[in-house]
Amino acid sequence: MALDTETPLNSLGFAKPPSETRVVVAMSGGVDSSVVAAYLADQGYDVVGVTLQLYDHGAALAKKGACCAGIDIHDARRVAEERGFPHYVLDYENIFKDAVIDEFADSYLAGATPVPCIRCNERVKFKDLLETAKDLEADCMATGHYIQRKMGANGPELHSAEDANRDQSYFLFSTTPEQLNFLRFPLGHLPSKDATREMAAQYGLSVADKPDSQDICFVPDGNYASVIEKLRPGAAEPGEIVHADGRVLAQHDGVIHYTIGQRRGLGIGGLSEPLYVVKLDVDKKQVVVGPKEMLATRVVPVREINWLGDEPFSSRDEWHLSVKVRSTRPPREAIIRPLSDTTAEIELLTPEEGISPGQACVFYANEGSRVFGGGWIWRGY
C-alpha cells in the first residue's frame, strides 16, 4: 500500500515549494508593501515587484504624503534591489485617469463625496494589475493592505484586519470572490503597524521609518477643490448659501468647496443655532444648511452591491448585519433589504449623521470579523 506523500501547502496556500510559487507584489513604495515583498522573498518565494505610475510623478516628486509619486517608485525599486528580486514600473496613467480621476471629478461636481481609493482598488489594482500578474504567470498577487483572507467552507472569505486601527476593509469591499481567489494579504493578521515597522527594520529596509501616506495620491495637499478646478475649469461657480427654510444667508464661491456635514468655514456666523451643510444642490448652485438633526439619516439607498455572502444576496428579504457608512466610523447594526442582486435599502437601527452620496456602505457580520461586501450610497432617484 503506497504511503500518502501529498505535498503540504506552503504559507500562500499552494501545494508546492515556495521557490516554485511566483507571487507578484503590488509595491507602492511604502513600508507596508515593501515588508510584504521582503517577507515573501525571505521565505524563498519567486517574487516579482510591480509599481504603478498612476499620474505625472514629475509634478509630485517633491511632495510627501501621497503614494505612487516619483519618490515612491524610487523607493520600491531600491527595496527590490536590496532584496534581490525583479521590479517593474507600469505606466497606468491613462487607465487611472479614465477609471478613477474623471469619475472623482464628475461625482464631486454632482455634490457627492467620492472615495477614489476604492475605485482604484476595484478598477485598476485588482483588475488591470491583477491581469498583468496572471500574464507574468504568477500563482497569486500580494498587497500590503491591512485585511485578512481566510478559507471558509465555501472558499476564501474577506475578514477585517486583526488591528482595528489599521483595518482597510472599507476600501476593499468591492473585491470579488474571483479576485479573492488570487489575492493574498500577508499583513492582515499583524497586531499593529509597529509590528510591520519592526519587520522592516529586521530586513534592513530603507523605508522602515518612512511616514504613512495620508492623502489621495493625486491630491497630495488635501485640496480637493483646486484639483477639481484644474480638471473641470469653471467648476467653482459662485452661488447662494441657503437655509433649509428658504432664507438666503450668504454667498459662496463654488459648491465644490463644501461637503455634507461641514460646520466650519461657512462664513455665516452670528446666528443663534449652529448650522451644518445638509445638502449640495449643484443644479441651483446652492449650499443648503440646517440644524444638526437634519443630518440624521435612518434609510440609505445603496447600489452597485458586491456581495460576498455564501447564499445569493436576493435569496432573503432581509439581512441582519452591521454597516459602515464612512471609513472612520465603527460598524452599526442595520437591516439590509435587497431590491435586486445589486441594489438595496439599508435601515440603520440607530440614525447616522452626515451620510453622503458617493460614500461606500460596507457590510459586516454582527459578530466576528467577516466582511460581506457592500455598495455605493446614492440619492435613491
Catalytic site positions: 120, 217
The answer on whether 160 is annotated among ligand-binding residues is no
The answer on whether 261 is annotated among ligand-binding residues is no
The answer on whether 52 is annotated among ligand-binding residues is yes
Helix, coil or strand: residue 198: helix
Residue 159 CA, chain-centre distance (Å), reads 15
CA 254 to each of CA 115, 264, 277, 284: distance values in angstroms, whole numbers, following the listed order: 20, 16, 14, 11
Helix, coil or strand: residue 13: coil
Pairing mode, strands 183-184 and 140-142: parallel
The answer on whether 242 is annotated among ligand-binding residues is no
Cell 472558499 belongs to which residue? 155
Non-local (6+) Cβ contacts of 7 within 8 A are: 15, 16
Contact 250, 259 (CB under 8 A): no
The answer on whether 27 is annotated among ligand-binding residues is yes
Give helix 31-42 / helix 70-83 axis angle, nearest 10°.
20
The answer on whether 371 is annotated among ligand-binding residues is no
Helix, coil or strand: residue 149: strand
Helix, coil or strand: residue 54: coil
The answer on whether 29 is annotated among ligand-binding residues is yes
Cα separation, 136 vs 123, whole angstroms: 19
The answer on whether 144 is annotated among ligand-binding residues is yes
Amino acid type, 357: P
The answer on whether 199 is annotated among ligand-binding residues is no
Q: Which residues are annotated as a binding site?
A: 26-33, 52, 144
Q: Which residues are annotated as a binding site for ATP?
A: 26-33, 52, 144
